[in-house]
Amino acid sequence: MGVRTLLFDLRTAGLTVSEDGGQLLVTPRSRLSDDMRAMIKANRDALLAELRLPDALPLPLPWSGHEIALFGARVTLFINRGQSPADAEALAERCCDRDRDCSGLRFCLECSELGGGHCGSWRAAGYLRREAVLSTTPQRCPGFALAPPLARVEGETGGHP
């Protein structure tokens, strides 16, 4: 049993699990079964570590002006390239996350070489013939060139978050 499951089970059983001065407190003790006591004893350090975790993950950083401008340009481009508005927004958000983690991965939908669902630079991209491309799969492509509407935003906003 994982420590989170143990903590959940103890709380579900009506027990309060807390830390006091480095000591693990489980109350009321009258509700503790022998099995519970054994599990708590075996997982004492892990329970203390779990209790010390912050309640919530840190909030993500707000988007910069550059990221907002890029988001808008990407949504427009992706819709013009056949995505539904909802899919275009979801993909533009993925692009923002991708930019922040500096993975260098790109979507064909961001590429100037994408036309009619096919890659116009298939040799450079490593294909043996002109292929239809999976435009929403992130990849590292040697044929990639940023689509002009996105390149314009990069130029206007300095290209930095």
Would you call 161 helix, strand, or coil by DSSP? coil
Residues ≥6 apart with Cβ < 8 Å to 44: 24
- What the block records as the tokens of 87 is 């899919």
CB 17 within 8 A of CB 51: yes
Residue 141 binds ligand SF4 (CB under 6 A): yes
| Selected binder of ligand SF4 within 75, 88, 119, 153 (CB under 6 A) | 119
Shortest gap between Cβ of 48 and ligand SF4 (angstroms)? 49
Q: How far apart are CA 22 and CA 29, in angstroms?
A: 18
Q: Please choose, out of 7-15, 47-55, 83-91, 110-118, the segment that lies near ligand SF4 by the rule CB under 6 A.
A: 110-118
| Selected binder of ligand SF4 within 121, 147, 150, 153 (CB under 6 A) | 121
| Selected binder of ligand SF4 within 3, 51, 143, 161 (CB under 6 A) | 143
- Using CB under 6 A as the binding criterion, the count of chain residues that bind ligand SF4 stands at 12
Residue 111 binds ligand SF4 (CB under 6 A): yes
Per DSSP, the chain holds a count of helices (H) and strands (E) of 7, 4
Residue 43 binds ligand SF4 (CB under 6 A): no
Furthest CA-CA distance within the chain: 74
Shortest gap between Cβ of 70 and ligand SF4 (angstroms)? 17
Following DSSP, what letter does each residue of 83-121 receive, concatenated?
--HHHHHHHHHHHHHHHHHT---B-GGGBTTEETTEETT
Shortest gap between Cβ of 118 and ligand SF4 (angstroms)? 8
* Residues at the interface with ligand SF4 (CB under 6 A): 106, 108, 111, 113-114, 119, 121, 125, 133, 141, 143-144
